[in-house]
Structures are given as structure tokens and as C-alpha cells.
């Protein structure tokens, strides 16, 4: 029987096109030419207007006009990009917020991407809101945040509380944007690339800060020298870098979780150029980590890497392990020696040797944890409100412990919801494979996600990310990527099981 050609082209469109339409279904003739001329005229007018404004700003610059023009350009770029790339651009900009009359530029960027997401979702071009295992705990935390305003009594504290609440809500919005749209392996890889590029900028600023304390880079003023001798038993040469976060302890946490991501990408690199670039990045990462001179980050990193090593123990070979550990320890010792002797920073290992404990509490936290717990008992149920401010009968000092911090601002009920979030994350970051080079990128990254989670949970016992408006969104991006990885890995695993051939009976 002769084969009859399919009258329908490969494009899937019928060969019967309505009169007056081209191949793509667009109007031809006078209507098409008129719309083209209108579009060109509009573009010419817009270009002329931009040129006039730029000329005026060159002669008489106005910060508000320049900021508005930058916002318009950013909105146009985000509109033209696909949503995952727009989210990556947002992640890249989060550590560098600029204060505005309505909050920070982070809030504006997150709202802009959220609007683009909703527009695309309404037209069916992207995924709508996705449910996650953390929904109920997040909802409970939002409710307790709102209820905690009841205990705020003065206007100054209310203003701070509203600003912090805005950051928290925008971070939750960012969480759902990432989880809903970073839903493929390629999207995960692309966002990880943006995270590495963002970290590179943060680390370069930190390296510049070490030699130029107090300098100004655009709207970012770098930290001042801390002074020689910190009362901790050693001289720190005066400087501990904080980069755009203005906080050396939070920068150290950012450095260790980023190092784990960098090691993962290095292990999966397939070209010498990519591996060389990642090696240079990891050296800069290590340099900045030691320039923060923060003990807790090193301990947290070690625990996270030990968890990763334990998970992958069946894949570990003795000789490569010994060689790898030797190289790693040599780099650590060598970088500490260089930073301590040839820069204005201090000796990390010297600080570690001076660490003392009173029971299970480090000596440097005795004066913060106990008063922090006592403060929390003033309003134990719903807390003192999102503003951590001085209250009657207590001096003002941060608790240096995010769990005590939560107990203060949203009470032990809010702390309970945060702990439920951590329990959910602990379950979602459990790896289902034991190799960083597994063919499924998402399941392989779960080894790193678990190590990052352990590092974060341990490190936050001696620092509180909530006190820093520049760093808080970065933490929620990290949490979002853990959840997105879990959901992508589960989807990939289900797809593999479905595609596996059924054995014949």
C-alpha cells in the first residue's frame, strides 16, 4: 500500500491558512505595515526622550531621576528575559541593596519579578504557585510575626518592626518564586551559576575592603578597622572584612556554604577551563573566609563536610581521600599563614586555640545567650515584635544565636514554627544518592544541600542572620534552593521510574 504524504507540515499547523495571514499567523498588507510604522515611531520617540533625559542628567544630575531610569531599564531587561534568568538576576543583586524611601531596592526587585511571574502564570507561560512541605509552618510564622506587633509600644520600634516585617514577607515571596519556577535540572544549574557570580562579587569587595577600609564603592561603604586587640586574647591587626553585608560573622557563613557549592561544581566540571576557573574562585573564597577571622564558620564547615563524607563513604577510596585531605589541609594552613602574616587581618588558628567553654557554652557567648533568654521571657508567647530593640531592664546586645533571636521577636510559638521549617528542611535535604557525579544533577546536589543545611544550623547557634537586612534575603534564597532541589530530584526520580521498562513475565 503506497504511503500517503501527510498534508500537515512539521510545524503542526494546517496547510489551510486564512487569507491575509503569513506563515506565522500575522496580518499582512496595510494593517501589518501600519503597525510596524507605529512601533518604529514609538521606539524613536522613546529613544529621543531617553536621550534628552540623559543629556539633562549629564549636565545637572539628579539621584532620583537616575534611580528611576535605572529602574525602568531593569524592568525592561527583566521583561525581555525568561523568568529563570530574571530570578537569577534578582539573586545576583540581593547582597547589594540600596536604601530608598519605601525600603530597599531588594523589595522593589522582588516585587518586579513577582509581577512578571504572575503575568506569565496568568497567560500559562510559566508555573503557577507550587505547594511545598513547608507551607503550614511558613503560614504559622507569618501569622505570629503579625501578632507580635501587639507588644510594640513606641513609634521608633514600630518603624523598625515594619521594615523587618517587609523584609520577611518579601523573602517568603522570593521563596515561592524560586520554588515555583526553578523546577528543572537546567534551571537549577543556571541559578547556581548566578549564585557563584554573586559570591564572586561579594568576595572581590571583601578583598578590596581588606586593603581599603572605609572606602566607598558606589552606595556601599566598606567597614572601618576594628582596632588592635579585641579582648579575645590575640591581636587581629585591626581588620575583619564584612564586604557588602558589613558583618564579618555573616560573611564567614556565606563563605562556607558557598565553598560547598563551589566544590560541588568543581567535582562535576568536565573541562579544564571550567575547573581552573572554579579553582581560582575557591582560592578567593578561602582567602575571604580566613580574612573574616571567625572560628565558628570553620567548625561549621568541618561538620558539614564530615556529613557529606559520611553520606558518600561507599564511594570513597582510601588513596584519593588521603591525597585530597592533604591538599585541603595544606591549603588551609597555607592560607591562614598568608592572611595572618601578609595582610591586615588576623590568625584564625590562633583564635581557635584561645577558645574556652563554660559547660557547652563558648566563653564569648556567655554574656549574650543568657541575657537573650531572659529578655525572651518578658513576652514568651508571641514575642516583642519584629524589632529587636532595647527594652526596659535589659541592655541592648544581640543574642548571637538565631534561635534565641526568634524567641525574642516572635516568642517561643514563632520559634516553634521556625524549628518546624528546619525539621522539614532536614527531611528534604536527605540525599537519595551517594555521588557528587551522579547523572542526575539535582539528586547529586542533595549531598551538598544537606552539608549546607548542617553548616547553617550549627553556625546560627553563634550568630543571628535576622539582624542584617542585606543577608536575610540571601539565607531565604539558600533555603529556597534546597526545597527546589528536593522537588526537582523527586520529579526526576519519578520520571526515571516511569520510563524504566517493565520486565516481561
Q: Pick the last residue of a domain from 88, 122, 156.
A: 122
If one compares 69 and 208, the residue with the highest pLDDT of the two is 208
Q: Considering the chain, what percentage of its residues have pLDDT values greater than 90?
A: 42
What is the count of structural domains for the chain?
A: 2
Lowest mean pLDDT across 48-52, 106-110, 337-341: 48-52
How would residue 486 be classed by pLDDT, with cut points 50, 70 and 90?
Answer: very high
State the Cα angle at 281 between 93 and 259, rounded to 5°: 80
Average pLDDT over residues 314-325: 77
Condensed to tens digits (0 to 9), the pLDDT of residues 386-442 reads: 988 878 777 778 889 999 999 999 999 999 999 999 999 999 999 999 899 999 999
- Indicate the average pLDDT of the chain: 81
Tell me: the pLDDT tens digits for 276-293?
999 999 999 999 998 998
Burial (Cβ within 10 Å: 0-12, 13-18, ≥19) of residue 9: exposed
- C-alpha cell belonging to residue 207: 578583598
Q: Say yes or no: 359 and 425 in one domain.
A: yes
367 and 262, same domain (yes or no): yes
Q: Is residue 3 part of a domain?
A: no
Cβ contact 222:435 at 8 Å? no
Q: Domain range holding 109? A: 42-122
Q: Is residue 499, in this structure, part of any structural domain at all?
A: no
Q: Kindly give, in sequence order, each residue whose CB lies less than 8 Å from that of residue 315, ignoring residues fewer than 6 positions away.
A: 434, 435
Residue 6 has pLDDT above 60, yes or no: no
Q: Is residue 19 part of a domain?
A: no
Q: Of 312, 301, 310, give the one whose Cα is nearest residue 452.
A: 301
Q: Which of 122, 152, 177 is the last residue of a domain?
A: 122
Task: State the pLDDT confidence band at 505, using cuts at 50, 70 and 90.
Answer: low
- String of b and e for 77-115 (b: at least 16 CB within 10 Å)? ebeeeebbbbbbbbbbbbbbbeeeeebbbbbbbbebbbe
Shared-domain flag, residues 100 and 174: no
Say if CB 477 and CB 91 are below 8 A apart. Answer: yes
Give the pLDDT band of residue 15 (cuts 50, 70, 90): very low
- Provide the pLDDT for residue 343: 78
Same domain for 212 and 251, yes or no, is: yes
Identify the residue with better confidence: 214 or 489. Answer: 489
Confirm whether 36 is domain-assigned.
no
Q: pLDDT tens digit string along 347-366?
A: 777 777 666 666 667 767 77
| pTM of the model as a whole | 0.82
- 186 with 291, same domain? yes
C-alpha cell at 24: 506565522
Radius of gyration of the chain (CA): 26
Do 112 and 142 lie in a common domain?
no
What CA dihedral angle connects 248, 449, 353 and 471, to 10 degrees? 10
Any idea what the Cα angle at residue 65 is, between residues 61 and 68, rounded to 5°?
Answer: 145
The mean per-residue pLDDT over the stretch 311-329 comes to 79
Q: 349 or 69, which is more confident?
A: 349
Amino acid at each position: 500500500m503506497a504511503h500517503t504524504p501527510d498534508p500537515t507540515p512539521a510545524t503542526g499547523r494546517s496547510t489551510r491558512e486564512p487569507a491575509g495571514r503569513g506563515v506565522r499567523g500575522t496580518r499582512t498588507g496595510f494593517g501589518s505595515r501600519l503597525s510596524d510604522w507605529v512601533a518604529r515611531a514609538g521606539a524613536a520617540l522613546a529613544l529621543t526622550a531617553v536621550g534628552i533625559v540623559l543629556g539633562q542628567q549629564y549636565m545637572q544630575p539628579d539621584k532620583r531621576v537616575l534611580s528611576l531610569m535605572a529602574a525602568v531599564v531593569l524592568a525592561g531587561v527583566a521583561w525581555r528575559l525568561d523568568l529563570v534568568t530574571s530570578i537569577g538576576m534578582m539573586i545576583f543583586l540581593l547582597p547589594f541593596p540600596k536604601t530608598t524611601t519605601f525600603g530597599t531596592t531588594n523589595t522593589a526587585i522582588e516585587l518586579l519579578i513577582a509581577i512578571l511571574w504572575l503575568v506569565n502564570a496568568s497567560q500559562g507561560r510559566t508555573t503557577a504557585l507550587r505547594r511545598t512541605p513547608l507551607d503550614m509552618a511558613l503560614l504559622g510564622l507569618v501569622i505570629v510575626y503579625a501578632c507580635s506587633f501587639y507588644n510594640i509600644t513606641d513609634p521608633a520600634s514600630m518603624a523598625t518592626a515594619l521594615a523587618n516585617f517587609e523584609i520577611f514577607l518579601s523573602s517568603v515571596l522570593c521563596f515561592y518564586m524560586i520554588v515555583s519556577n526553578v523546577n528543572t535540572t537546567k534551571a537549577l544549574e543556571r541559578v547556581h551559576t548566578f549564585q557563584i557570580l554573586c559570591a564572586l562579587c561579594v568576595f572581590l569587595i571583601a578583598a578590596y575592603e581588606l586593603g581599603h577600609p572605609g572606602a566607598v564603592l558606589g552606595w556601599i561603604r566598606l567597614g572601618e578597622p576594628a582596632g588592635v586587640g579585641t579582648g579575645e586574647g590575640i591581636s587581629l591587626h585591626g581588620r575583619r572584612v564584612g564586604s557588602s553585608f558589613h558583618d564579618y560573622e555573616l560573611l564567614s557563613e556565606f563563605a562556607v556554604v558557598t565553598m560547598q557549592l563551589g566544590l560541588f561544581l568543581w567535582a562535576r566540571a568536565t573541562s579544564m577551563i571550567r575547573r581552573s576557573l572554579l579553582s581560582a574562585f575557591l582560592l578567593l573564597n578561602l582567602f575571604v573566609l580566613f580574612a573574616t577571622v571567625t572560628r565558628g564558620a570553620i567548625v561549621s564547615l568541618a561538620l558539614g563536610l564530615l556529613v557529606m563524607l559520611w553520606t558518600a563513604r561507599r564511594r570513597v577510596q582510601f588513596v584519593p581521600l588521603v591525597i585530597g585531605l592533604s591538599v585541603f589541609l595544606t591549603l588551609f594552613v597555607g592560607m591562614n599563614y598568608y592572611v595572618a602574616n601578609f595582610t591586615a587581618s588576623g590568625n584564625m588558628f590562633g583564635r581557635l586555640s584561645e577558645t574556652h567553654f563554660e559547660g557547652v557554652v563558648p566563653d564569648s557567648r556567655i554574656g549574650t545567650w543568657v541575657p537573650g533568654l531572659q529578655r525572651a521571657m518578658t513576652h514568651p508567647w508571641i514575642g516583642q515584635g519584629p524589632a529587636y530593640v532595647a527594652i526596659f531592664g535589659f541592655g541592648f546586645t544581640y543574642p548571637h544565636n538565631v534561635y534565641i533571636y526568634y524567641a525574642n521577636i516572635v516568642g517561643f510559638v514563632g520559634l516553634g514554627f521556625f524549628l518546624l521549617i528546619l525539621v522539614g528542611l532536614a527531611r528534604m535535604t536527605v540525599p537519595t544518592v551517594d555521588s557528587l557525579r551522579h547523572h542526575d544533577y539535582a539528586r547529586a546536589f542533595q549531598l551538598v544541600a544537606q552539608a549546607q543545611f548542617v553548616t547553617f544550623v550549627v553556625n546560627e547557634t553563634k550568630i543571628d542572620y535576622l539582624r542584617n537586612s542585606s543577608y536575610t534575603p540571601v539565607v531565604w534564597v539558600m533555603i529556597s534552593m534546597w526545597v527546589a532541589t528536593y522537588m526537582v530530584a523527586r520529579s526526576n526520580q519519578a520520571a526515571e521510574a516511569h520510563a524504566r521498562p517493565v520486565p516481561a513475565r
